[in-house]
């Protein structure tokens, strides 16, 4: 069970993301974003070592708000071989130094995300300890990814990050969320995860966060 600490983090997560997001191929802004933390959820690491968060950050720097889905992991020591996925380092008021990673490159997050898609893990509230997040919905018609250890190919496109296994199964992590589309499983997908956040106008928005595919990383 992840314990949510009411403490300071320096620099803040949003400060780290303000510098990191413009370096991503799926960032649609022009210049530095103006971010607010709008929602998301967490998953528990069974070993209790790694923080796992699926954050929604809304950028209001452009002509219209854009909601970005950013899976993050927080570790007490560097993740070997993941220097390319480091978002930044922080000083946590309780836990001390923390290394924040793009969770799409962290095997702990990938394993628990797979379990969530398949119904073996429960989404947890983003800011409350030991509280399920019932706004998160999921479905799956079969195994989302093979069991670890994987070889996984991780690729970015203009709107998502795709995790593809050697047997063709894939998870597409939707980075730019579309609240105008249905938040149910797309016809092209074998599984999905949907979640909610607070839109810039104060309403509650929903979208598909992740889709599972059984024969390559099709869109959807």
The DSSP letter of residue 197 is E
Residue 131 pLDDT more than 80?
yes
* Token pair 């609240």: residue: 179
166-182: burial string, b at 16+ Cβ within 10 Å, e else: eeebbbbbbbbbebeee
Round to whole Å and give the CA distance between 184 and 45.
26
At 28 the pLDDT is: 96
pLDDT, position 220: 47
The token pair at 151 is: 């070889």
pLDDT confidence of residue 176: 98
Which tens digit of pLDDT belongs to each residue from 141-186?
A: 988 999 888 999 999 999 999 999 999 999 999 999 999 999 999 9
Amino acid 149: pLDDT: 87
């Amino acid at each position: 069970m992840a314990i949510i600490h009411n403490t300071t983090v320096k620099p803040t997560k949003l400060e780290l993301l303000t510098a990191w997001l413009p370096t991503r191929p799926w960032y649609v802004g022009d210049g530095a974003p103006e971010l607010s933390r709008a929602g998301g959820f967490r998953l528990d690491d069974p070993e209790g070592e790694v923080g796992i968060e699926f954050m929604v950050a809304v950028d209001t720097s452009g002509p219209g708000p854009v909601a970005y889905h950013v899976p993050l992991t927080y570790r007490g020591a560097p993740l070997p071989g993941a220097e390319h996925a480091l978002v930044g380092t922080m000083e946590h008021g309780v836990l001390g130094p923390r290394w924040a990673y793009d969770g799409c490159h962290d095997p702990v997050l990938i394993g628990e995300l797979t379990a969530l898609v398949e119904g073996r893990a429960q989404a947890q509230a983003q800011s409350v300890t030991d509280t399920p997040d019932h706004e998160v919905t999921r479905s799956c018609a079969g195994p989302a990814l093979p069991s670890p250890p994987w070889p996984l190919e991780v690729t970015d496109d203009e709107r998502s990050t795709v995790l593809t296994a050697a047997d063709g199964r894939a998870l597409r992590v939707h980075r730019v969320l579309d609240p105008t589309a249905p938040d149910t499983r797309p016809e092209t997908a074998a599984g999905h995860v949907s979640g909610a956040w607070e839109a810039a106008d104060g309403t509650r928005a929903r979208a598909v966060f992740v889709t599972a595919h059984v024969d390559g990383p099709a869109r959807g």
